Structures are given as structure tokens and as C-alpha cells.
Amino acid sequence: MPAKPHIGYVGVGLMGLPMVKRLVSLHYPVRAYDLLAGKTAAAAAAGAHTAASPADAVQGAEMVLLNLPTTDAVEQAVFGEAGVAGAMRAPQLLIDFSTIKVDRCKAFAQKLRAASGCGWIDAPVSGGPPASGSGTLTIMAGGEAAEIARAQPLFADIAGRFTHMGPSGAGMAAKMLNQLVVGVGHAVMAEAVVLAEAAGIDAARLPECLAGGLGDSALLQKLYPRMQRREFAPQGYVRQLLKDLDMVHEYAAALKAPTPMMSEALSLYRILVHLGYAELDTGAILKVYDRSAK
């Protein structure tokens, strides 16, 4: 079996740490860094080597992976003081699993290639921490075909579904559409929970009842049951989905594409954060509808 490529990993939080654990279990040598020392320590406990900075994570890596919460965090990790751009040299490859603004993603890719000759693949993900840890993520990617091909064995180890959507930024554009569907879907699931309970039926059986029909979906089968049980331990943070919906809103406005349903979901998530629930799971949107939710 050929040796796995050395990986530099920046951002080992809710999504990054499960992926690092999987990579280590598959015998990838991983050098990990997070701005929070406790998260870097958790990666070390999982078997990763630790780095003192993003630039330090690059040392010896064939691929540098990012999994960060915001566009500004990606810019700082790449182009800031001790950022990866100052240490990367071709043919090293950067793969960004973060969800960031489409236009800035394209600009970052161009800037990195001009500065270092290195390619940038935008590879935002869907599936949450369980999928990140089990290698079943859905990944939508943008980048040069030859660089996508180089990274294909890595993607095969971490994704259940991988789609190359086109050039730089195309993966991020697809993620905007994913978040539109997810954001509106969360609001619909919350309404389904409240209405099912008000109707006096066995609300917990709704996913079983609707399975295979036109109302079936991953959200119905995975999110709805956690909502109905009022389980809000984060598999994805409210603040992160709000950030993503704000980006979708901005992106759609720039393209003059109408998204009234998404705008409603965005308003609900703004209310949820205002109520103090930013650190709960995204399913906590039920709290906007259901005063009895704990």
C-alpha cells in the first residue's frame, strides 16, 4: 500500500477534529494547528503532530487543509502573520473545507497561486461532524482539474459523495445553494414538529410515516427526530448557519436572484441568536416556534 501524503491541518474544531481523527486512523501523517490551544491538544491526543502556527503546519506537508469558521479566519490563516501562504511552495496544494464568500474565495486562490505557485481547491462540505468522522461527507469542489485529480485519493477517504463543480469558486457557489436548502429546511422541520404535536398524533413517528414519499429527506430523517426530542447539543452551531445564510443573502442579491423563503429563514435565525442561542445546534430554531423547548 502506498504511503499516505503528509497533511498540514489548520482548524481542528467541531468539523476539523473528527476529520483529523479519521485521517490519523487511515495512517495519514497529520500536523495540526488551531488558534485555541485546547483544540490543538485534542488533535495531538488523537495522534496528530502539533504545529505552533499555520505556517508551521505546512512543514513537510503535501497538502494543507483548512477547516475554519469564517471568511476572515481563512484570510488570516493563509495570508496573515505566520500564515500558510508564506510557507507554501509548489507543488503543495491547499484544500479549504470552510464555507466562505464566493468572490473572496476566488480572490484568495488567485493570490496564493501568484505568491507561491500553489493551487487552491475550494471544497466546502455537508454532513456535519458525524459525517466528517466517518468519511461520508458530501463535498462540492471548485478548482483546476489536474489538482482535483491529485487530491482524489484524499477525497475518497473522507467523502461519501464528491462532485467537481468547475473552476475556482464553483464549489463555494454550490455550497451557497446547499445552505439555502438547509436553512429553509430547518424552519420547515420546526414547523412540522410543532404542527404534528398540536395535531395530537405520535409526532415521533413522522419520519417513519413519510419515508419514501415526496416529503422524505435527510433533514426529515436526521434533523427532525433531534428537534422532536429537543436535543440541541451542537452538531452545527446556530451562529455558523446564520453566518452562512447571511452569505447566501448577499450572494443572491449580487446576482439579483429572488430568495424570499431563505430571507424568512434568515430572519428566524437572527431572532434565535438575539434570544441567546448562538452556541446551540442549528435545530434549536424550534425554540422560536416552541416556548416549551428546553
The ranges assigned to domains in the chain are 7-167, 173-289
Residues 34 and 20: their CA atoms lie apart, in Å, by 12
Contacts of 3 (CB under 8 A, 6+ apart): none
Q: Mean per-residue pLDDT for 267-294?
A: 90
The full 3-state SS of the chain, as one line of letters, equals: CCCCCCEEEECCCCCHHHHHHHHHHCCCCEEEECCCHHHHHHHHHCCCEECCCHHHHHCCCCEEEECCCCHHHHHHHHHCCCCHHHCCCCCCEEEECCCCCHHHHHHHHHHHHHHHCCEEEECCEECHHHHHHHCCEEEEEECCHHHHHHHHHHHHHHEEEEEEEECCCHHHHHHHHHHHHHHHHHHHHHHHHHHHHHHCCCHHHHHHHHCCCCCCCHHHHHHHHHHHCCCCCCCCEHHHHHHHHHHHHHHHHHCCCCCHHHHHHHHHHHHHHHCCCCCCEHHHHHHHHCCCCC
Catalytic residues: 175
Q: Mean per-residue pLDDT for 267-289?
A: 97
Question: Does the pLDDT at position 293 exceed 90?
Answer: no
CB atoms closer than 10 angstroms to residue 82: 16
Res 169: pLDDT: 97
Res 294: pLDDT: 47
215-251 pLDDT, tens per residue?
A: 999 999 999 999 999 999 999 999 999 999 999 999 9
Judge contact between 227 and 185, C-beta under 8 A.
no
Res 2: pLDDT: 77
86-131 pLDDT, tens per residue?
A: 999 999 999 999 999 999 999 999 999 999 999 999 999 999 999 9
Res 146: pLDDT: 98
Written as one letter, the residue type at 204 is: A
Q: Mean per-residue pLDDT for 43-72?
A: 97
Quickly state the pLDDT bin for 177 (edges 50, 70, 90): very high
> The domain at 173-289 falls in which architecture?
Orthogonal Bundle (1.10)
Quickly state the pLDDT bin for 60 (edges 50, 70, 90): very high
Written as one letter, the residue type at 73 is: A
Residues 3 and 18: their CA atoms lie apart, in Å, by 21
Cell numbers that stand for 166 in this block:
468547475
- pTM greater than the 0.95 cutoff: no
Question: Does the pLDDT at position 171 exceed 90?
Answer: yes
* CATH fourth-level superfamily of 7-167: NAD(P)-binding Rossmann-like Domain (3.40.50.720)
Residues listed for the chain: 294
